Structure formats: structure tokens, C-alpha cells
Structure 1
Amino acid sequence: MTTLEQSRKLVTEIPGPGSVELSKRRVAAVSHGVGVTMPVYTARAAGGIIEDVDGNRLIDLGSGIAVTTIGNASPRVVEAVQAQVADFTHTCFMVTPYEEYIAVAEHLNRLTPGSYEKRSALFNSGSEAVENAVKIARSYTRKTAVVAFDHAYHGRTNLTMALTAKSMPYKSGFGPFAPEIYRAPLSYPFRDGLIDKEWATDGELAAERALNIIDKQIGAANLAAIIIEPIQGEGGFIVPAPGFLPALRAWCSDNNVVFIADEVQTGFARTGTMFACEDEGIEPDLIVTAKGIADGLPLSAVTGRAEIMDAPHVSGLGGTYGGNPLACAAALATIETIELDGLVDRAKQIETVMKDKLGRMQADDDRIGDVRGRGAMIAVELVKSGTAEPDPELVKTLSAKAHAQGVVVLTCGTYGNVLRFLPPLAISDELLTEGLDVLAEILAEL
């Protein structure tokens, strides 16, 4: 079992000599199309710490992009995967199935919002699950059009690139994309408030704007599904104004349109509820999960109303590795850890610590235009002083200096001006506060 001292420690410059050597090997061996945020190579990780090959210990405020939610190498997960790998590594669920897949599906059907009868299907990645959710919605409704939203991120496959809003680096040069994908305006309170104060606070009004466009440009008779992240991830951790999601949900119910909640980044206790759509009582027709589902092993799922999930013909859903037994074992241990260790409540505690610290920073610095998010999914949007103009250069410099001081932070946002925080729920308050203190010092220096 990985034991790792939970403290930040720099023994070399970042990156150190071992990481520099590995970077040379990477450049020679790996496609240059694969980017890295930090040229620092991991040797071990646990709790809220990543240790690199040079012995530097870094505070992890990224969780591998919201994947190691319960902490890296979490004990129950390690034990479950070790036991499973000794039994069998793969048979393909579609050839000779196994109990672990069924057990994961049963837990997902139990945990996801909605008291109706549900079914689940397992896949490998968030993109793959999103793509299958669209397939299922089209099969059920016998309609083809799909609406995604401004600033959305849904993946890197051809269909999910079409659903994703941002061109660079996700879409540029990779077209043509899948047809029958349309886009509607999101509720983005910070930016909407610069145009109309009502839009910033009245989610129903913002939904009316979106639904008018959907009605006029696509029409409910042609629309199979609306897909939305309850809190946007890559788009900038945008939390829609209250009422926006319920209005969309109600419209879908009235118009035979499947409401798909993409909870790839928000799911599994990340936002202080098991799933982010629970915050406003949303019961999606289909919910897409991945990332935090299995503590780092590749697994994703689509869960939803039984009649919708059962619409595709037999063998219309599947995949060689979907619901791999090792990943299923990890998922079962991850869910057990979330429930037994009270990690939904822990996410709320992390929100309190982070918003208190970041709110005080905002009060002292008008370059912090907005502090937003829920649970352990918090972001700051940085702007040029005295304006609301995005400042991506400040974010770039701030994150680079944080990396050099041993704090792993991630950036996001359509304008590249959002710093996002996704700490593991296993992180201590002391490490979390230290990481934020480092950022505050750097921002003050800048």
C-alpha cells in the first residue's frame, strides 16, 4: 500500500533532473500532439500529494482532472484491484459476463437521481459514454438533432468534438464533424450580468433565451436530446443561474426530448452532492459518468430510465473493454469509500475552506472577477484590473509559478482565464490551505 508523507517538499528545481531526462525521452517517443501541463514525472501519489521521480512532493489540486476524487492509490481500491487481477483480467462482458459489471450497474441505478426504474451500460471513457448516450436518445426518440451549449466540453471523439464548443485545442483541423449538432446559449451569470443583470440571477429567463433559439432553429419535432453539464468543466466551471436547469428539464419532458446530464467531471461527490444535478432536484433521463467513478481506472457509464436505456436493439451497445473487471472492482471500492468515509460532506467542507480563502483574496484584488463552483469543484475567473476583460496571460503566469513552487493547478475556460481547483476529497485542510496560500502570494507578487 502506498504510504506517502502528506507535506509539500522541494528537493530540486521543478522540473528536476530526472523529469528533464524523461521529457527528452517523451519528445523522442510520444506524439507531439499529446500535451502536458507540467513536465514533472510521477513516481508515487497518495492523498493530496504527488511525488515525482526526483523526490519532490507536490500538492495536488487537480486530481488528474477530477479522477482521483477519493485520493490516489486509495486503500480499498488497491486491495480490490489486486484481488481481481489475481482472479481474471478480462473475458469481455459480451462474451462471458461477470458479476462485477452487474454490481456496478446496480450501484449506479441506486445512486443516480430519479426513483424510476433504471438501467446502466458501461464503457471506457467519458467521450465514449457521451457518444452512447446520444445513440440511445436517438434510438428511443427516432429523432436525430442534438443540442449542446456554449462553452460545453463533451470529449475528443468525432461526435463529442462536434458537441464541444472550444476550437483550440480540441477541434481545430480535425473536421468535418458529425452532423445534426446545434448550440444554444448557456446561463453564464458572471458574463451575462455584464449585459443584463436579470439574466445573471434569473435562470428561467436565461432558459427562455435558449429555448427560443432551440424552438426556432431546430424545433422539438426534430430534437432527440439536450445534453448539458450541470456545472461546466473545461468551459470554466460555470454554474448556471438557479432555475436554468429545471426550466430545460421541464421543456424536455413536455416535448419528448431526452435530457442528458453530462456528469463526467461533476459526479461522485465532487460538488457536495453525489451528482451535481441533485442540487436543484433535477432527474435526468440519462446521466453520463466517468472520471471519479473508479479512482483512476478507465471506466464510464450511461445510466437512465429503463424504457430509454432498453430502446437500442440487442448488441447495439457494447465494446471490447467496456466494464473491464479491474475497473469494475475499482469502482465498487470507490463507491464504498465515498459512502463509508462521508466524502459527500467532506466536499462541502472543502468548499467552505476554499471559498473563504478565495473570497478574501477577491475582496483585496479586483483581478479576481468571479469565484464560483460547488464542493471541491471551485474556480476563479481572472480579469484585467478595473475591467471584466479576460486575462489569460495572468492565469498562464500564475499557474506556471505555482507549478514551480510545487502546487499542481489546472486552467480552463473558453477565454483561457479561469484557474480551476479539483482537490482530492482525501486532502487535509492544512495542505489545501497551504496550496491556496502559495497562490495568494504569487498573485500578490504579480
Structure 2
Amino acid sequence: MTIHTEKARMPADYMPESVPGPLAQALIARDNEVIAPLGRVYPLVIDHAQGCEVWDVDGNRFLDMNAGIAVLAAGHCHPRLIKVAHDQLQRFTHMAGTDFYNEPMVRAAEKLVSLMPGGKGWQVFFTNSGTEAVEASIKLARYVTGRQNIIAFYGAFHGRSYGSLSLTASKPRQRRGFFPLLPGVSHTFYPNCYRCPINRQFPSCEIACLDVIENVLFKTTTPPEEVAAIIIEPIQGEGGYVVPPPDALSRLRAICDRYGILLIVDEVQSGVGRTGKMWAFEHEGIVPDIVALAKGLGGGLPLGAMIARTELARRWQPGSHGNTYGGNGLTCAVAYELLCMVEEELMANAADVGTYLLTQLQALQQRFPQIGTVRGRGLMIGVEFVNAQGEPDGPLADTVMVESFRKGLLVLTCGASTIRFCPPLILTKAQADEAVARFALAIEACVA
């Protein structure tokens, strides 16, 4: 596979016509009649897409820095994945992997195991989404430890089904109206050095936020011998694309080992090559007990997975957990091919172009004091907007996001005031330049 290096097809002076156009407006009106409220952030109505570009129903073109929220690792409509999907559609699409066997399911699981630390000693449970992968992780942790409590982090997003929602602590609206949630869940501070929540108590940090687990939680509300697992995102996604300091995950691994607690790593948004390595936890040199995975895994098709150490997974009795669509022939065939592509070249491209994009976005800080910091790994980059006092400026971030759309660039916010860049892993440096140029135009329009 070769990643094309020609300049983006979108001319530098291209701007969309007035958006949303008449056809988009008509479809939005139809949507409002039949689709439950979903919280769309700007009126993009997609018609077709290719690579890193999207066209709406009125013919406007956009450069895509969303990738379906970090899903389309190989970009839109990659011919290699289309061929695999077409071939599999002519064989079979579904035969209930919980009850029967199929080769695409086995081959995708074999590939996943080969990409885990050691290349063996892991087993896979396929799901349909990230929230299901987290649910499976919670259930397995409780089942094998005989313990009930789970520790998660403020700012975390693990999904919206009831178990994963109980771990999610990203935005109040995600929980409002749904209490009571899963009992036995505690939250603590995520290691965020840019906005350390306890630096007044600990001027010399040394990742003191993680000390709260042993010095506060374990001594007050959460006995360690009753904690089944600690779950963490190696880079917080919806919490603001927060990269923890070096050694944070190894410190957490040590805490888990001290008390016989399982470490669950949520790689739903950060995994499958997005950070320049197959798994984001590899940057920290740790080995988790359970990994929750989705988004990029399916290449655009709905697929997730829980990957657990074999000695844990085998303790599940048949029927302890299951689903109907997990191990679907079509999604697993595409996932295998996608994983091969990521291993062959895409994660290396994410590392290379991601470093380039990070540098270009950091240069914007010199032009715009409203940018407080730019952080990330690979093609998982966050740009945090601040006010004159250095506090998060959510309204500005929202305004820049919408203005970027009007300038032909698709981005989304996360956290309190961060705009995320999570484009397809096929992004070229020319397209990165185009994205930064359009982003700068959007910021200029919003702060002028």
C-alpha cells in the first residue's frame, strides 16, 4: 500500500457556498420529523466522500479532520476495504458468532492478538461499539475478581449505556436524568499537567493526582480489596484530548499490581494506529489486563472488541456474556484488512504527518493568544482555547468549530474548550497544510 503524497485536491482558495444549502435544509427538516434529538453541532449533510474529503448534498466540499470521530482510519471509501466488503457480501454477512463459527471472526481475532504485547496470550470478545466493549470489560473484571468497585477518572468518556455511563464523567448532560447509575463507581483526577486540579496542594507535582487513589480513596470511601478494576483512557478523548505526563500509566499499573486490581485501558478513540503506535498505551511501556476497543477497528463499519489476558477471559463460563452481532462476518473481514493496512503503513504515517500537523498547529499559538496549548500524539491532536485569564473559553471553541465548517474544514470540540483533530490516518502533509490554513482563517474570523 502506498499513501499518496500529491497536494489535496481542494484548491487553496476554495470556499463552500452558503451552508447549509437548499438540499441540506430540506433533508434537515425531514430529519427533525423522524429522528430523535441527537445534538448535531453544525448542519453538515453528507452526500459522498473519498479519502479525507467530504461533499455535501449541495455539492460543497470539505476537508475532513473528524474521520467520523476517529473512526475512518483508512479514510472514506478506501478501495481496498470496499473490495474486501464486496467480496464478503457475496459470501455471507452474518451467522451469530456467539452461537456458531466463522473464519473472518477468527482471522480478525488472530490479527488483534498478534498486535497485542507479546503477540499471544490474549483472547477477544467482539462487540458492536465502544460502549459495549467497556460493558464487557466491566463484567469480566467483576466476574474474575469477585469484587464490585470500579475506579474511573474525571473527564472520562466511556460510553452512554448504563454501565459505561456510570464511568463517564465528561459532561453533566450525559448523565442528567439517568440516575441512579451503577453502584460502586468512584472517580478521581486524570493526570492533566496543563490544568492540574490539585497543584495548589502539591506545588511539586510528581503526578500527585494519582496519589489521591491510595492516599484518599483507599483510606476513605473505596477499600482497595473491593476494587475490581481501574479504567483509564491513555489519552482522554471527549475530556479534551489530554495527554498524561510520562510515567503516569506506569504509576497506575504499579498501584493496580500492589492491590490485585485489574487495569482496563480504553483505547476506543486512541487505538488502531491513531497515535503513531498500534495502541496508545505502548507509548508508556505498560501492559494492561483488559483493553476496550472500537471506532477505528471497523474501518467505518460498527465493530468493537474487548481484548483480555487469556487467563482472565477463560474464566468466563460460556453464556456469561454474549451478543447477536459480535463477530459479524462483514465487519470482521473489513477489520482484518484495516488492521493489516495500519500495521503496514498507516500508523507510521500517523506518526510522521501527526508530528508535522502538531508543529503547524503549535505555530498558530504565536499568532493567536486565544490558543492556550496544543497537545497530542500522532493524529490525535487537541487545540485548547482560553480567555484573557487563561481559563477555558468554550464559547470561542464552539464558534471556531462552526466557522471552520463555513471555511470548508470539518472539526469537532471536546473537553471544556478544545478543538480536536482526528483525521483519517492517510492524511498527507499537503492536506495538513490546507487544514491549518483554513483553521487559521476560521480563528481570524472569530477573534477579529
TM-score range, shorter chain: over 0.9
Q: What are the superposed Cα offsets for residues 205-255 of structure 1, whole Å, 9 maximum, x if unpaired?
A: 332233323312212110000000000000001111111110111111221
What does residue 169 of structure 1 align with? 173
Identity of aligned residues (%): 36
* 2:378 maps to which of 375, 379, 399: 375
The amino acid that maps onto 1:355 is: L
What does residue 149 of structure 1 align with? 153
- Contact 2:353 2:428 (8 Å CA) reproduced: no
The amino acid that maps onto 2:24 is: S
Q: What are the superposed Cα offsets for residues 26-80 of structure 1, whole Å, 9 maximum, x if unpaired?
A: 0111112x12123121111121101111111100000000000111111221111
- Contact 1:285 1:304 (8 Å CA) reproduced: yes
Q: Secondary structure at the match of 1:183?
A: strand
- Contact 2:116 2:122 (8 Å CA) reproduced: no
What does residue 223 of structure 1 align with? 227
Q: CA deviation at 1:363?
A: 2.5
Q: Separation in 1 of the partners of 2:365 and 2:191?
A: 22
1:28 counterpart = 2:44:
no
What does residue 213 of structure 2 align with? 210
What does residue 409 of structure 2 align with? 407
What does residue 389 of structure 1 align with? 391
What is the root-mean-square deviation of aligned Cα atoms in Å? 1.8
Q: Separation in 2 of the partners of 1:130 and 1:114?
A: 23
1:354 counterpart = 2:357:
yes
1:15 counterpart = 2:20:
yes
The amino acid that maps onto 1:346 is: N
Q: Separation in 2 of the partners of 1:306 and 1:357?
A: 43
The amino acid that maps onto 2:231 is: I
What does residue 428 of structure 2 align with? 428
What does residue 363 of structure 1 align with? 366
- 1:268-417 superposed matches below 5 A: 268-340=272-344, 342-385=345-388, 387-413=389-415, 415=416, 417=417
Q: Secondary structure at the match of 1:214?
A: helix
TM-score, length-scaled by structure 2:
0.93
- Contact 2:22 2:58 (8 Å CA) reproduced: yes
TM-score, length-scaled by structure 1:
0.94
Q: CA deviation at 1:11?
A: 5.3
- Contact 1:192 1:200 (8 Å CA) reproduced: no
1:262 counterpart = 2:278:
no
Q: Separation in 2 of the partners of 1:198 and 1:221?
A: 27
Q: CA deviation at 1:132?
A: 0.4
- Contact 1:187 1:199 (8 Å CA) reproduced: no
* 2:182 maps to which of 162, 178, 184: 178
Q: Give the direction of change, closer, same or farther, for the CA distance of 1:109–1:115 in structure 2 (3 Å limit).
A: closer
- Contact 2:291 2:306 (8 Å CA) reproduced: yes
Unaligned runs of 5+ in 1: none
- Contact 1:114 1:283 (8 Å CA) reproduced: no
Q: Give the direction of change, closer, same or farther, for the CA distance of 1:240–1:182 in structure 2 (3 Å limit).
A: same
Q: CA deviation at 1:199?
A: 6.8
Count of matched residue positions in the alignment of Structure 1 and Structure 2: 436
Q: Secondary structure at the match of 1:195?
A: coil
Q: Secondary structure at the match of 2:117?
A: coil
Q: Give the direction of change, closer, same or farther, for the CA distance of 1:29–1:436 in structure 2 (3 Å limit).
A: same
- Contact 1:193 1:200 (8 Å CA) reproduced: no
Q: CA deviation at 1:308?
A: 0.8
Q: Separation in 2 of the partners of 1:11 and 1:193?
A: 42
Q: Which runs of 4+ in 1 moved over 6 A?
A: 197-201
Q: CA deviation at 1:316?
A: 1.1
The amino acid that maps onto 2:346 is: L
Q: Secondary structure at the match of 1:322?
A: coil
- Contact 2:199 2:205 (8 Å CA) reproduced: no
Moved more, 95-104 or 401-410: 95-104
Q: Separation in 1 of the partners of 2:441 and 2:17?
A: 21
Q: CA deviation at 1:411?
A: 0.1
The amino acid that maps onto 2:367 is: D
Q: Secondary structure at the match of 1:381?
A: strand
What does residue 98 of structure 1 align with? 102
Unaligned runs of 5+ in 2: 1-7
